[in-house]
A and B are shown apart, each in its own frame.
Chain A
Amino acid sequence: MGLKRNVGLIEGLRYQGKGPMLTYILHRIGGLAIVIFVAVHILSSYFGGNIGIFFNTFYMHWAFQIFIFFCALFHAINGLRIVILDLWPKLIEHQREAIWVEWAVFLPIYAIAVFVIARTALGG
């Protein structure tokens, strides 16, 4: 691993790689969100008290649930695609098709989850 970088954060974000790049950036955002959520969740369950109650009400909120479930489900399904393509490198030729399959798996599951969360939030 070299330590020198010639490209900064802003320049790096400006790269336009279309579909695969979108999954890549969503994978990163989702992963970071899960890391922060899990860390805060573990710490607040350890310390408990008012901090624990505050974070509990925060992540019981429907908006947060819709967000974190997007992150977790997308990270899981995109991660499975990455694992399959990386462990069977010959399949990388079909990367774009694999990404379409991935969205076809992700969208219905996520739609059901959003429906259930919204119905619960609306008091059904």
Chain B
Amino acid sequence: MKPRTVSISQRGFDFETSMWLFTRLSALLMYLFALIGMVGALIMGARTQMNLADVLRWTFMPNPSHVLNTNVPDLAPWSTVFWKVMGSLFVFFATSHGLHGLLSVLEDYISRVWLRKSLRILVVLVTLLISVIGIYMILTS
């Protein structure tokens, strides 16, 4: 069976298509952030001062409170502006990626129109709130 492809000019590039593309690109970006976090941790001495679980925790979110319980002697290099920016970007792309995921799930499983519409609004508001709190927590930690 030959795959059928439709060019973007024929299909149209609407909001849904851009969100579809955003979900995929943000996934790649989160891979990049995780890689930067892991390599950064190894450079800062994780090989001898942390165990696998702590490296993973830092990889998923480069926040200094995630390395408090390790043998890292000095937290200063772990709480620089660079890591705060990385953490905030990670939170932003993770929550917006999750937002589109939640909206897709609502689309698929909630068949009552009024319920789907109200849940959509609720999900957008809660996601905004969580992202703001998350980034605030990172910047003040």
Given contacts A1-B107, A9-B109, A38-B94, contact A31 B16 (CB under 8 A): no
Chain A interface SS verdict (over half): helix
Determine whether B3 belongs to the interface, using a CB cutoff of 8 Å to chain A. yes
Could you pull out 12 A-B pairs where Cβ atoms are within 8 angstroms? A3-B117, A31-B101, A35-B98, A38-B95, A38-B98, A45-B137, A80-B27, A83-B28, A86-B24, A89-B5, A90-B5, A116-B53
Instruction: Please give me the residue from chain A that is nearest to B52 by CB atom.
Output: A116
Task: Answer yes or no: A99 CB below 8 A from chain B CBs.
Answer: no
- Bound CA–CA A42/B128 (angstroms): 13
Q: Is the interface of B mostly helix, strand, loop or mixed?
A: helix
Is B39 positioned at the interface, with any CB of A under 8 Å from its CB? Answer: no
Which residues does A use to contact B, with CB under 8 Å? Answer: 1, 3-5, 7-9, 12, 28, 31-32, 34-35, 38-39, 42-43, 45-46, 72, 76, 79-80, 82-83, 86-87, 89-90, 92-93, 116-117, 120
Bound form: Cα–Cα A1–B103 in Å: 12
- Pick from B3, B105, B126, B137: contact of A28, CB below 8 A: B105
Q: How close is A85's CB to chain B, nearest CB, in angstroms?
A: 10
Known contacts A38-B94, A120-B53, A5 near B27 by CB under 8 Å: no
How many whole Å from A122's CB to the nearest CB in chain B?
A: 14
CA A90 to CA B2, docked complex, whole Å = 9
A92 and B27 within 8 A (CB): no
A-B interface pairs (CB < 8 A), number: 65
* Bound: A38/B5 CA distance, A: 37
Q: Does any Cβ of A come within 8 Å of B133's Cβ?
A: yes
- Out of B5, B65, B130, which one reaches A39, CB within 8 Å? B130
0 or 1 for each of B110-141: is its CB under 8 Å from A? (1 = yes): 11010011000000001000100110110000
User: Are A35 and B102 interface neighbours, CB within 8 A?
Assistant: yes
Bound together, the chains give a CA A89 to CA B3 distance in angstroms of 8
Contact in complex: B98, A31 (CB < 8 Å): yes
Q: Are A76 and B31 in contact (CB under 8 A)?
A: yes
A87, B24: Cβ atoms closer than 8 Å? yes
State the CA gap A79–B112 with chains docked (Å).
29
Shortest Cβ distance from B116 into A: residue = A3
Chain A residues with CB below 8 A from B101, complex form = 31-32, 35
CB of B60 closer than 8 Å to a CB of A: yes
